Amino acid sequence: MSVNAVNNTSYASAAAGTSAAKTSEQKVSKETQENKQQQTGVVYEKTSSTVNTDYVKKNSALISQLKADSDARVSQLRGLVEKMMKKQGAAIGNADSMWQFLAGGNFTVSADVKAQAQADIAEDGYWGVEKTSDRILDFAKALSGNDPKKADELLAAFKKGFSQATKSWGKTLPDISQRTYDAVIKKFDAWKNGTEGTDATADQA
């Protein structure tokens, strides 16, 4: 795998995971606001789904931790990319321009950056398929009050975020991003159907 390919897949995982998480958070935050309006007597058109705000409050620390961790990682990545772009005479006009620059692959990186990117997208890396898909599911559970009935709604938000990440990337996302997408779908289905952990049990049988 080329240096650019290694970094492109790492950055694409960051783009897809971050966009999906933010979309899910925005969707549930809107519902939480509507619930508060209902409690204070404000008239609004009630949606078919509500959020367990008590659970959200109890798990606010976890939600904040997940969000802060993701924001810090993305900020770190952005700083790295900005330095790389400046060295090569490019400039970031907005977030999309950064992702499109990376997707173009017309850049070089140092050996230490290459090594970090490889570690990040490894099987046990922060932006690897398993850890990224786990974080997205954990975030959805925390926001929804761990209510499987909200799975479809939050999964739709994830899909929207993935679509936005693809648009920002400017073309089809790398294979690792698609594998992460597939893993998220599988884990959401298991959560929704109450079959989490059954695959591992079956494999050991």
Tens digits of residue pLDDT in 184-204: 999 999 999 999 876 543 443
Rounded Cα–Cα distance for residues 104 and 115 (Å): 20
Query: What integer pLDDT is reported at residue 101 of this predicted model?
Result: 77
Residue 84 has pLDDT above 80, yes or no: no
Tokens read off for 9 = 């897949």
Residue 96 has pLDDT above 60, yes or no: yes
* Number of Cβ within a 10 Å radius of residue 61: 10
Q: Is pLDDT larger for residue 86 or for residue 152?
A: 152
Query: What integer pLDDT is reported at residue 135 of this predicted model?
Result: 93
Query: What integer pLDDT is reported at residue 128 of this predicted model?
Result: 94
Per-domain residue ranges of the chain:
3-195
Residue 161 has pLDDT above 50, yes or no: yes
Burial tier of 121 (Cβ tally within 10 Å: 0-12, 13-18, 19+):
buried
Q: How many CA atoms lie within 13 A of 26 on its CB side?
A: 11
pLDDT band at 51 (very low <50, low <70, confident <90, very high): low
pLDDT band at 36 (very low <50, low <70, confident <90, very high): very low
Q: Is pLDDT larger for residue 198 or for residue 121?
A: 121
Residue 92, phi then psi, degrees to nearest 5: -90, 115
Query: What integer pLDDT is reported at residue 37 of this predicted model?
Result: 41
Q: Which of 80-84, 99-103, 162-166 has the highest mean pLDDT?
A: 162-166
Tokens read off for 121 = 């997208």
User: In this structure, are residues 107 and 101 in contact, taking their beta carbons and an 8 Å threshold?
Assistant: yes
**Residue 11: which of 95, 88, 89, 94 has the closest Cα?**
95
Rounded Cα–Cα distance for residues 94 and 18 (Å): 16
Rounded Cα–Cα distance for residues 95 and 97 (Å): 5
Helical residues (DSSP H) of the chain, grouped into ranges: 3-39, 53-58, 60-87, 95-104, 111-120, 129-144, 151-169, 175-193, 198-204
**Residue 9: which of 95, 100, 184, 127 has the closest Cα?**
127
Q: Is pLDDT larger for residue 196 or for residue 24?
A: 196
Rounded Cα–Cα distance for residues 153 and 174 (Å): 26
